[in-house]
Structure 1
Amino acid sequence: MTQGQIFSSNEFAPFLDRLADAASAAIMPHFRQGFAVDNKWKTGFDPVTIADRNGETAMRALINSTYPGHGILGEEHGGENLDAEHVWVLDPIDGTRAFITGLPTWGSLIGLRTSGTASLGMMVQPYIGERFGGDCHQAWYNGPLGTRTLASRACDRLEEATIFTTTPALFNDTERAAYDRIEDTVQLARYGTDCYAYCMVAAGHGDAVIEAGLQAYDIVALVPIIEGAGGVVTTWTGGSPCEGGQIVASGDPRLHDILLKELARTP
C-alpha cells in the first residue's frame, strides 16, 4: 500500500505504516484460505489462527530491531520490557471471528503507550486497504477514498445517536441491562463491527461504542484515533481506558457525559 500523508508530529508516527506493512504481509496469505483454527478457552470459544500469531511475530521483530529499548504487549505472545517509557500494544487480528468467517470487518491494532498513556495508534484493514491513525491531537485516514483528516460528528441526544457493540451477548446481566436501556433509546444500533466501530465513530459515521471485557490490546490503539478526531474514550466510570475493561467511546463529549450517566444508572 502506498503510504499516505502522516498528519502527526509524533516521532513514531511513520513507524506505524512500517508495522502495518509487516503485519499485513504476514496475515493476508491466510485470509479466506484454508487454515486451522485453535480455541484458547477450555469452555466457550475464543479462536486464534496462524495468521494472528504470525502477524504479531512480524511486528515484534520489527519493533525489537528498530527500537530495542521499547516494550511490547501483545495478545498472542505476551509482554516484554513493560516498564519501558514506550510500550507497543498489539492485537494482530482484532475480530478473529470475522477473520475465520471471511468477513473483512477485522483489523490489526497497533498502539503505543507512553508513560502509561495511549499516545499513538493505527487500525489497519489490509483486504480493504484502509488505515485509520491518530495521536490524540489529530486523526487521519488513508485508503480507497484517498487521504484525509478524520473528525467525529456532533450528536448530543441519545434519540439521534447511532451506537455500536460487538454483541450484547458479551455483557453480564448487569451490563446488559444498562446497555439495553440505551439501545432502546437510540436511533440505531449495529453489532459485529469489532475495531471498525471505533474508526467509524472517528470518521463521523456513528456516534458511540459500548463494550465490556476488553483487554489493553483491544483498545489502546483506538484511543488516539477517537481522541484525535475530537471524541472521548473512558471506562464506564469515566476512568482511563488503557487497561481495558468496560469501555465507552463517543464522538461528541456531550453525548459521552449522557452515556456515562446512563451506564451508571441503576434500574
Structure 2
Amino acid sequence: MFSYPAACDVDEELLELVTMVIASMEGERACKLRPYDRARCTLVHLRKHDTLEQIASGFGIGVATAWRYVNDTIERLARFAPSLTEALTSHHAGGYVLLDGTVAETDRVGAAGHFSGKVRHEGVNLQIIAADDGTLLWISPALPGGAHDVKAAREHDIIDVCTQLDLEVLADKGYQDAGGTVITPIKRRPDTELPDKYKQSNKIHAALRAPVERTISRIKQWRICRHARISPNRLTSVAAAILTLMIYSEPFPTSR
C-alpha cells in the first residue's frame, strides 16, 4: 500500500470550523494528530468517503486511531445540529417550507426493513426540510430505507410541528393524505383526466418544490450519503454532522 496527496473539495472555512470544534472541547487528551489534521480526517471521510484504511495510511496513523478521531469528531459536530423546532422557528415568518425524502444507500445492513423500493437497494430514509429558496433547514435522524416518506414524516413529528407553527409544507405525491398543513399535488382519479386548471396548479407546485431537489443534490455531494460503508445506526449522527456543516456554509434565512 502507498499513500499520496489528494484534494478534498471543502471550503477552508469549514476546515477551520471543525478544527475549532475539536480544539475547544474540554478534557482534550494527548493525540497523535493535531486538531487541524483530525478535522481533515473527518472531512475526507464525510466528503470523499475514503475508507478508514485509506485515511490511516494517508495520515500515518493506525486504523483504530483513525476510527476514533473520525467518530469522535462526527459526534461533536452532531451536537450542534438544531432540533426540528429550532430549525423551523429560524425560518422567516409567513413563509413556507419544502419537504422531501431521500435514501442514503448503505452496504452494511444487519436488520430487516432497510431495503428501499425507491432505489432498489438497502439504505436509510432521511427527511429533508428546506426553505423556499432551497436553504437547508433540517435533516432528520435516519430510519430504515423501507419506510415510506409520509410515515417517516409522521414519526419525526414533522407534520404536527409544522401545523402547530402554522407553517405550510410543500411536498410531493409521497406525502399524499399527510394532513396538517402539508400541500401535495392534486391526484388524478382512476380512469379520469385531470382538468387543465389542476394540471397548471400541479405545474406551479412542482416549480416551487424544485429548490429542495437541489438541496438534496448538495447533501449527496457528501459522498457518505450516496453509498455508505458503515452501519446504518451511525448515519443519524452523520446526518446531524453534515447538517451542522451545511448550516455553517448556508446560513438560515433572515426575516423578510
TM-score normalised over the length of structure 2: 0.24
Question: Which structure has the higher relative contact order (CA within 8 Å, separation 6+)?
Answer: 2
Structure with the largest fraction of strand: 1
**Structure possessing the higher radius of gyration over alpha carbons:** 2
Structure with the largest fraction of helix: 2
